């Protein structure tokens, strides 16, 4: 008898889990309140970051922390009124980011990143989404020699330990690669391995169509109605009550709400981010995904226009938009590239789900049969969606996961 499965959450992670379960003979229903890819997966930088072996840590230097405290930067912003409720999470995040702990976490995290390109390649080809993909890496540019040299030393270490490939860029290289970009840059790095996505929402939609071609279904539903029912699980959908043997919570930043109702208290925080699309003035062309590393924003040549993305905003999940970082970033970006008019009616905002140890939550719920977790991917949700889908589906169906996922187990927070 075919087992049924529910996947709550239709971002890139949830869609990928649904595909891999459907491939393995489960009858899967993907459930979300919106169409797939319309929340956090809609607004990322569009990079499949094979080089991203080290998760983003919390600053350790006192001088840098004092500069962040001024709350006037592009790469980080915070709501003062919400800091008291976030202090416990931030303190654990800071502690895990010390050099020794961060190195341990990086070694545990790297296997997921290592397989990110191969697992995306599988789904990209299966969903015939090749036209959405570029395979020529991306670049970081630096304004000072000190930051450049520090980044190059780190890149050399990652190449030696984790096999990531890169090129060192001179200021002349940057001018050659981006002739319409101006600025006194000290150099940069081109990461060779990553792929870029011309429209992240379109990629998630392509994966959704592939899932449906396998016999899976997507229906709208309310995760607030989800709970145990007999020996399985039940949720209300637009088609009525739906029951299943297994259920996966892949609700991104809303996963903490769903798991708390079941008695799990996972330390899931959020880093909100913003983007806006722009036209280019005249005949100007942006050729590459470019991170202005010392200012903390990224420019990406996407289908909808040149996308400008910001760093992290520390605020509650439901707080109103405060896109001050976007305005700051736009002002700086206009000094290095001839951006034209804004193309979106308002800034887009999304929330990245983050754990204090910077690793996702992937695995079986400690105290319930048939309940599985897949969330907390922070800045690498797009990157890690397919590899998460594969390892979790293998675990659910009794296969041996192709990589060791013990480090990502929910039990590290809820034994």
Tokens representing 123 are: 């789904």
pLDDT value for 280: 98
> pLDDT tier at 63 (50, 70, 90 boundaries)?
confident
What's the domain count of the chain? Answer: 2
The predicted-structure confidence for 33-61, as pLDDT tens digits, reads as follows 989 888 888 988 999 999 999 999 998 88
CB 261 within 8 A of CB 292: no
In this model, does residue 379 exceed pLDDT 90? yes
Structural domain span for residue 367: 1-57+97-130+196-266+356-415
Q: What is the DSSP string of 184-213?
A: ---EEEEESS-EEES-HHHHHHHHHHHHHH
Residue 91 located in a structural domain: no
In terms of domains, do 24 and 114 share one? yes
* Contact predicate 188/174, CB 8 Å: yes
| Boundary residue ending a domain (354, 371, 404) | 354
Rounded Cα–Cα distance for residues 298 and 309 (Å): 5
Residues 215 and 17: their CA atoms lie apart, in Å, by 14
In 3D, which of 402, 408, 414 has the Cα closest to residue 114? 402
CB 163 within 8 A of CB 190: no
Helix (H) or strand (E) holding 152: helix 145-162
Pair of tokens at residue 197: 């996505």
Nearest to 45 by CA among 267, 329, 320: 329
Which of 354, 381, 401 is the endpoint of a domain? 354
pLDDT of residue 344: 97
CA distance to 124, 238, 251, per residue, from 314 (Å): 33, 34, 19
Q: Is the pLDDT of residue 1 over 60?
A: no
pLDDT of 48 reads: 98
pLDDT at residue number 200: 97
> What does the pLDDT read at residue 148?
97
Based on the fold, state whether residues 221 and 299 are members of the same structural domain. no
* 90 domain-assigned: no
Tens digits of per-residue pLDDT, 338-370? 999 999 999 999 999 999 999 999 999 999 999
Residue 4: is its pLDDT beyond 80? yes
Cβ atoms of residues 350 and 43 within 8 Å: yes
Is the CB of residue 363 less than 8 Å from the CB of residue 376?
no
Q: Say if 88 falls within a structural domain.
A: no
CATH of the domain at 17: 3.50.50.60
Percent of the chain with pLDDT over 90: 90
For residues 248 and 115, what is the distance between their CA atoms, to the nearest angstrom? Answer: 22
143, 186 contact by CB (below 8 A): yes
Rounded to two decimals, the pTM is: 0.96
- The pLDDT, as a whole number, for residue 114 is 97
Are 289 and 255 members of one domain?
Answer: no
pLDDT > 70: what percent of the chain?
A: 99
Torsion of CA 349, 54, 116, 365, to 10 degrees: -80
Give the Cα separation of 120 and 98 in Å (integer): 31
How much is the pLDDT for 307?
98
Overall average pLDDT of the 278-304 stretch:
97
Range 216-231 average pLDDT: 94
Of 256, 224, 338, the C-alpha closest to 89 is 256
Do residues 9 and 39 both lie within one domain?
A: yes
Tell me, yes or no, whether 156 and 200 share the same domain.
no
CA distance linking residue 237 with residue 226, whole number of Å:
10
193 pLDDT higher than 90: yes
Q: Is the pLDDT of residue 125 over 80?
A: yes
pLDDT of residue 62: 83
Residue found by looking up tokens 């006037």 in the block: 72
> Measuring CA to CA, which residue among 351, 413, 380, 396 is closest to residue 111?
380
Is the same domain home to 350 and 400? no
pLDDT at 314 over 90: yes
Taking only the tens place, the pLDDT of each residue in 77-95 is 999 988 888 889 999 999 9
pLDDT of residue 21: 98
Banded pLDDT at 415 (limits 50, 70, 90): low
* Nearest Cα to Cα of residue 5 among 375, 264, 386, 393: 393
Structural domain includes residue 279: yes
CATH number of the domain where residue 156 is located: 3.30.9.10
CA-atom Rg of the chain in angstroms: 21
The average pLDDT across 244-266 equals 96
Q: Which of 354, 378, 400 is a domain's end point?
A: 354
Do 372 and 403 fall within a single domain?
Answer: yes
Residue 89 is assigned to a structural domain of this protein: no
What is the average pLDDT score of the chain? 95
For residues 166 and 383, what is the distance between their CA atoms, to the nearest angstrom?
A: 18
d(CA 122, CA 116): 10
Whether 104 and 32 map to the same domain: the answer is: yes
Q: Are residues 20 and 163 in the same domain?
A: no
Question: Looking at the predicted structure, is the pLDDT value of residue 143 above 80?
Answer: yes
Tell me: pLDDT of 310 over 70. yes
């Amino acid at each position: 008898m075919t087992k049924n499965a529910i996947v709550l959450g239709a971002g890139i992670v949830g869609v990928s889990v649904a595909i891999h379960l459907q491939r393995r003979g489960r009858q899967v229903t993907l459930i979300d309140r919106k169409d797939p890819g319309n929340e956090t997966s809609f607004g990322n930088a569009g990079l499949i970051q094979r080089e991203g072996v080290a998760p983003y840590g919390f600053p350790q230097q006192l001088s840098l922390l004092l500069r962040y405290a001024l709350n006037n930067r592009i790469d980080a912003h915070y709501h003062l009124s919400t800091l008291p409720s976030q202090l416990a999470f931030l303190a654990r995040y800071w502690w895990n980011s010390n050099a020794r702990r961060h190195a341990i976490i990086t070694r545990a995290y790297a296997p997921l990143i290592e397989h990110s390109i191969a697992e995306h390649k599988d789904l990209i080809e299966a969903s015939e989404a090749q036209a959405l993909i570029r395979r020529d890496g991306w670049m970081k540019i630096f304004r000072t020699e000190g930051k450049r040299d520090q980044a190059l030393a780190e890149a050399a270490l990652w190449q030696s330990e984790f096999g990531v490939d890169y090129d060192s860029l001179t200021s002349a290289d940057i001018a050659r690669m981006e002739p319409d970009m101006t600025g006194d840059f000290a150099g940069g790095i081109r990461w060779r391995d990553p792929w870029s996505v011309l429209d992240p929402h379109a990629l998630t939609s392509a994966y959704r169509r592939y899932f449906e071609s396998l016999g899976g279904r997507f229906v709208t539903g309310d995760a607030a109605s989800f709970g145990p029912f007999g020996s399985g699980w039940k949720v209300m959908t637009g088609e009525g009550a739906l029951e299943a043997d297994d259920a996966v919570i892949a609700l991104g930043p809303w996963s903490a709400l769903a798991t708390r109702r079941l008695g799990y208290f996972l330390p899931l925080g959020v880093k909100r981010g913003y983007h806006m699309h722009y036209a280019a003035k005249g005949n100007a062309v942006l050729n590459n995904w470019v991170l202005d590393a010392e200012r903390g924003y990224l420019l990406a040549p996407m289908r909808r226009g040149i996308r400008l993305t910001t760093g992290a905003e520390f605020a509650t999940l439901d707080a109103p938009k405060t896109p001050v970082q976007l305005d700051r970033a736009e002002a700086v970006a206009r000094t290095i590239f001839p951006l034209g008019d804004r193309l979106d009616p308002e800034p887009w905002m999304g929330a990245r789900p983050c754990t204090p140890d910077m690793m996702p939550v992937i695995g079986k719920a400690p105290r319930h049969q048939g309940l599985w977790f897949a969330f907390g991917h922070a800045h690498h949700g797009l990157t890690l969606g397919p590899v998460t889908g594969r390892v979790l589906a293998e675990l659910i169906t009794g296969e041996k996961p192709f990589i060791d996922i013990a480090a990502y187990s929910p039990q590290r927070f809820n034994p």
